[in-house]
Chains A and B, each alone.
Chain A
C-alpha cells in the first residue's frame, strides 16, 4: 500500500462540493464525466452541457428502448418514441430537481409517452417500417431464441418461452409492474413515483401478474403429462 499517488478528482462518486458550473466542458476530463452520478450529469445538462447529456443517453438508451419494446411491442413506435423521450428529457431538463433520482424522472417521461402512443395507435393505421435504427431485434425478439440462450435444457427452454409469450397477454397494469420491476430493475418506491400508484397496489399487481404467468406453465405441464 505504499504507492500513494494523489489523483484527486478522477475517481469520485459524489464530491463533497458541488461541481463548478461550466457552460462548456473544456475543463472536464472525460474520465471524470464518465464517473459522475446520473444526477450530477443532469445538473450539468441543465447548464447546457451536451456531453453530460450524451453520457446519460449512453447509460439509459438501451433501458428506455427495451422498456418501450416490451410495453408497446411495435418497433416503429420504439424508434419514434425513443427519440422523443430523449429530446423531451433534454428540452425539459430545467424542470428536473436535484437530487431526485434521474432514472425515476426519465422513466416518468418514457411511461407517459408510451401511454399516449398506445392511445394514438388505436386510432391510426400502422405505417410501413422502411428502416430501423435499432440493434438486437433479431436476437431478443423471439422468446424461443432468448430461452435457448439461457439454458440447454429443452424443457426449461419451453417453460421460459411460454412465460415470455404469456407476458403480452397480461392486463397492462400487471405487465407494466413486471416490466418496470423485473426487467428494468426499479424499486417499488420508484415505480410508485413513476406510475402514481401506491406501492401496496403495485405489490399486489406483481403478485397476481406472476401468478398468472406461473399458471400458464402449470397448465401447459398438465397438458403435457401422459393421461392414465
Chain B
C-alpha cells in the first residue's frame, strides 16, 4: 500500500499525484500519462486511477449549486445589519480575533521550526516568472476596438467565413461543407515584439450556448493564415464550444473547464511575456506556462469557427484591447 513516505521518496508518485489533482489537460497529466505508457510498472493499477480521475473531470458539475436571489438578498440584509451594529460585531469578534491571533502565533512558531529544520527547496524559475508576469500592471492601451462601425485598419481580415462589424464583431452567413468547418476573423496587421509584456483582452457576448459556432481568441507567431479556416502553424488559442472552454497550445489541449451560460458576457485575457503566457476567463486563471510562440513577434486575433451543424448562434466580440505596461 502506498504510504505518504513512499510518495515523498518517489518522484513519479509526486508527479502522478500532481496529475491526479490538476486533471486531464494539465502539463503534469500529460507527463504522467506519457511516462506510464513507457513504464514497466504496474500500469493496470495506475490506469484505474487515470480512469477514475477522467470520470470525475467529466462529472465536475456534480452538486454544483449557486445562490438564488433569495439567498443573496438575505445575506446582503444581514451584512447591512452587521455594519449598523458594530457593538455586537465587536462583542462577537474579539474572542474570535484573540483565538485567531493565538492560532497565528502557534502557526508562526511551527512555520519557523519547519523552515529551520528542512532545507529550502530549489526555486521554480518558471513559476516565479509566471507570477511576476501576473503581477505586471498594464496601464496603457495600444489597441482598443469596439467594432461599432466597421473594422479599423489596424486589423486584417482572415479566412473564408465572413465577419461583420456593427456593434461588435459577428460571424456572417456561410455554410460549411459536410464534415468540415470554416473559419474567419481578424488579426492585428502589425506584429507585437515578444520581449515586451502585454495583455490581450477580449469581451465576448453570447445569449445561448452554441456547439456549431465556436469563438476563438488566439496569439500566433506566424503571419500566414489559411484561406479557408483562418488558422496558422503555431498558436495559443482560447475557445468556447457549448459551455466548454479550452486552452489549446500548438494543437494540444492544455486546459478544459466549463464556462456556464449564466454570465452572458465573458472577459478573456491573455497576458504575454517572452514565451510565457497566462490565460484567464472572467478573472480566473485557466492556464499558465510556456507557449509555442518562442521569441518571434506575435499576431493577436479573434475568429469564429463554423461547423457543418445547423445550430444558430447569437454571439459577438464586443471589444478587443491590447495593453502595454508603460
Contacts of B70 in A (CB 8 A): 131, 133
Asked, given contacts A12-B137, A133-B71, whether A206 binds B17 with beta carbons under 8 Å apart, the answer is yes
Apart from A13-B136, A87-B75, A182-B56: 12 A-B pairs, beta carbons within 8 A:
A1-B142, A3-B144, A3-B152, A59-B283, A65-B66, A82-B71, A147-B58, A156-B58, A188-B18, A201-B4, A204-B2, A214-B49
Asked, given contacts A95-B97, A210-B53, whether A66 binds B65 with beta carbons under 8 Å apart, the answer is yes
Contact B64 A62 (CB under 8 A): yes
Interface centre among B2, B55, B72, by most chain A C-beta atoms within 10 angstroms, is B55
Size of A's binding interface in residues, CB under 8 A: 88
Q: Which of B3-53 contact A (CB under 8 A)?
A: 3-5, 7-8, 13-14, 16-18, 20-21, 23, 45, 47-49, 51-53
Contacts of B63 in A (CB 8 A): 66, 69-70, 73, 140-141
A11 CB–B CB distance under 8 Å: yes
Asked, given contacts A141-B63, A208-B2, whether A91 binds B93 with beta carbons under 8 Å apart, the answer is yes
Contact A217 B51 (CB under 8 A): yes
The bracket for how many chain B residues form the interface is 35 or more
* 30 residue pairs from A and B, CB less than 8 Å apart: A1-B143, A1-B154, A1-B192, A3-B142, A57-B72, A86-B79, A87-B75, A91-B82, A92-B100, A94-B93, A95-B96, A131-B70, A133-B69, A136-B64, A136-B65, A136-B66, A159-B51, A164-B62, A167-B56, A181-B21, A182-B23, A182-B60, A198-B4, A200-B5, A201-B4, A203-B4, A204-B3, A204-B7, A215-B48, A217-B55
Contact A163 B52 (CB under 8 A): yes
B69's nearest neighbour on chain A, judged by CB, is: A133
Interface centre among B17, B18, B142, by most chain A C-beta atoms within 10 angstroms, is B17
Residues of A participating in the B interface, judged by any CB pair closer than 8 Å: 1-9, 11-16, 34-35, 48, 50, 53-54, 57, 59, 61-62, 65-66, 69-70, 73, 75, 78-79, 82-83, 86-87, 90-92, 94-95, 97, 131-137, 139-141, 143, 146-147, 149-151, 156, 159-161, 163-164, 167, 178, 181-183, 187-188, 198, 200-201, 203-204, 206-208, 210-211, 213-218
Determine how close the nearest CB of chain A comes to the CB of B116; give it in whole angstroms. Answer: 17
B296 CB–A CB distance under 8 Å: no
Contact A12 B55 (CB under 8 A): no
Contact A66 B7 (CB under 8 A): no
Asked, given contacts A3-B145, A3-B152, A188-B21, whether A137 binds B65 with beta carbons under 8 Å apart, the answer is yes
Residues of B participating in the A interface, judged by any CB pair closer than 8 Å: 1-5, 7-8, 13-14, 16-18, 20-21, 23, 45, 47-49, 51-53, 55-72, 74-76, 78-80, 82-83, 89, 92-93, 96-97, 100-101, 104, 134-145, 152, 154, 188, 190, 192, 199, 201, 283, 321-323
Interface centre among A3, A14, A87, A143, by most chain B C-beta atoms within 10 angstroms, is A3
Give chain B's interface secondary structure class: helix
Contact A90 B82 (CB under 8 A): yes
Complex CA gap A147/B96 in Å reads 43
Contact B17 A203 (CB under 8 A): yes
Contacts of B136 in A (CB 8 A): 13
| A83 contact from B7, B75, B138, Cβ within 8 A | B75
Contact A218 B75 (CB under 8 A): no
Determine how close the nearest CB of chain B comes to the CB of A207; give it in whole angstroms. Answer: 6
Complex CA gap A87/B53 in Å reads 34
Determine how close the nearest CB of chain B comes to the CB of A6; give it in whole angstroms. Answer: 5
A212's nearest neighbour on chain B, judged by CB, is: B52
Contact A79 B71 (CB under 8 A): yes
Complex CA gap A113/B69 in Å reads 23
Contact A147 B59 (CB under 8 A): yes
Contacts of A54 in B (CB 8 A): 76
| B67 contact from A4, A13, A62, A140, Cβ within 8 A | A62
